[in-house]
């Protein structure tokens, strides 16, 4: 225990899993302590279809206006957290500063949602990065999230999907521009080995990336496609 207390921050591994990854205090079970859990921005009230956060007090099973007017190609999307502080900071730290020790804590949350919401899925599909971005970043955060999920559930990680177009960043684009930007961005190689794939990513914003990927998976023979991300950006804040 002394060793645990003396462990420097940012040095987390399986031996010191009792230390909360967010505040460095001793955690009471799990990788995020009770106090941090209480202040995390949970996505508790959401659209049954796209998972977008909705005003508290909505009855369960309610569908947002956007999904009522146009259903997305995926069956349902879920995100346990809202893309707000400190979740946004942690996701940026993973992606842009390679602080991958946060990944198992987020994967724990994803595993819980996966078990409770997606009984039917038969494969995990990390949203692929184009090879140039993969090369510069050195890793794909979606694949990193899938690894512990695969370990915990036995679901295979599908590697048949590629990002064949180097799309520009979605930041600052409106919905129509995002759609254009992502057209034909993904391709499945060979015969799809999954009937009910689950797309996994760090954050979902407009849902356009997941929609394009879902359409490609359906074109390739998937019966239904679902989406699981760590966080859901609020509609007003789509960065
Ligand atoms: Zn904590
Ligand atoms: Zn919706």
| Mean pLDDT of the 179-201 span | 89
Residue 238 included in any domain? no
Residues 112 and 33 in one domain: no
Residues 204 and 119 in one domain: yes
| Residue 11: per-residue pLDDT | 46
Residues 82 and 92 in one domain: yes
| Mean pLDDT of the 122-128 span | 97
Asked if residue 15 has pLDDT above 60, the reply is: no
Three-state DSSP at 120 gives coil
Asked if residue 169 has pLDDT above 90, the reply is: no
Ligand in nearest proximity to the CA of 235: 2
| Residue 171: per-residue pLDDT | 66
Over pLDDT 70: what percentage of the chain?
88
- Residue 9 confidence class, pLDDT cut points 50, 70, 90: very low
Asked if residue 71 has pLDDT above 50, the reply is: yes
Ligand in nearest proximity to the CA of 204: 2
Q: What CATH number should be reported for the domain holding residue 113? A: 3.40.50
Residues 100 and 213 in one domain: yes
Is residue 218 a contact partner of residue 73, using CB atoms and an 8 Å limit?
Answer: yes
Residues 1 and 25 in one domain: yes
- Residues 154-164 pLDDT 10s: 999 999 999 98
Residues 26 and 46 in one domain: no
Cα–Cα distance, 227 to 78 (Å, whole number): 6
Residues 30 and 53 in one domain: no
What range defines the domain where residue 118 resides? 40-232
Asked if residue 7 has pLDDT above 50, the reply is: no
Over pLDDT 90: what percentage of the chain?
70
| Mean pLDDT of the 148-175 span | 85
- Using the structure block, give the residue that is written with the tokens 């230390």: 19
Cα–Cα distance, 105 to 22 (Å, whole number): 9
Ligand in nearest proximity to the CA of 206: 2
Ligand in nearest proximity to the CA of 74: 2
Residues 108 and 134 in one domain: yes
As residues whose CB is below 5 A from the ion ligand 2, the structure lists 47, 49-50, 52, 64, 67
Number of independent structural domains in the chain: 2
Residue 239 included in any domain? no
- Nearest of 58, 83, 71 to residue 201 by alpha carbon: 83
Asked if residue 236 has pLDDT above 70, the reply is: no
Residues 10 and 121 in one domain: no
Give the count of beta carbons closer than 10 Å to the beta carbon of residue 41: 17
| Residue 174: per-residue pLDDT | 74
Residues 116 and 174 in one domain: yes
Q: Determine which of 176-180, 181-185, 202-206, 230-234 has the lowest per-residue pLDDT on average.
A: 176-180
- Residue 168 confidence class, pLDDT cut points 50, 70, 90: low
Residues 22 and 54 in one domain: no
CA of 108 to the centre of ligand 1 (A): 15
CA of 68 to the centre of ligand 2 (A): 7
Residue 237 included in any domain? no
CA of 36 to the centre of ligand 2 (A): 28
Is residue 44 a contact partner of residue 197, using CB atoms and an 8 Å limit?
Answer: no
Residue 119 included in any domain? yes
CA of 39 to the centre of ligand 1 (A): 9
| Residue 93: per-residue pLDDT | 96
């Amino acid at each position: 225990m002394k060793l645990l207390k003396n462990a420097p921050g940012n040095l987390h591994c399986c031996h010191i899993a009792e230390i909360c990854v967010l505040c460095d205090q001793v955690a009471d079970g799990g990788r995020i302590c009770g106090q941090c859990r209480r202040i995390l921005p949970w996505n508790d009230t959401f659209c049954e279809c796209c998972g977008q956060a909705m005003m508290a007090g909505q009855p369960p099973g309610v569908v947002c206006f956007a999904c009522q007017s146009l259903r997305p190609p995926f069956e349902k999307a879920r995100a346990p957290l809202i893309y707000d502080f400190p979740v946004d900071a942690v996701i940026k730290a993973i992606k842009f500063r390679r602080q991958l020790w946060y990944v198992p804590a987020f994967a724990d949350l994803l595993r819980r949602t996966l078990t409770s919401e997606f009984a039917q899925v038969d494969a995990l599909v990390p949203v692929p990065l184009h090879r140039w971005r993969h090369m510069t970043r050195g890793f794909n955060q979606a694949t990193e999230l899938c690894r512990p999920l695969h370990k915990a559930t036995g679901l295979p990680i599908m590697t048949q999907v590629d990002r064949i177009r180097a799309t520009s960043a979605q930041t600052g684009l409106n919905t129509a521009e995002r759609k254009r930007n992502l057209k034909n961005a993904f391709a499945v190689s060979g015969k799809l080995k999954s009937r009910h794939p689950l797309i996994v990513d760090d954050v979902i914003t407009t849902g356009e990336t997941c929609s394009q990927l879902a359409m490609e998976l359906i074109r390739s023979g998937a019966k239904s496609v679902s989406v699981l991300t760590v966080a859901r950006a609020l509609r007003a804040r789509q960065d």
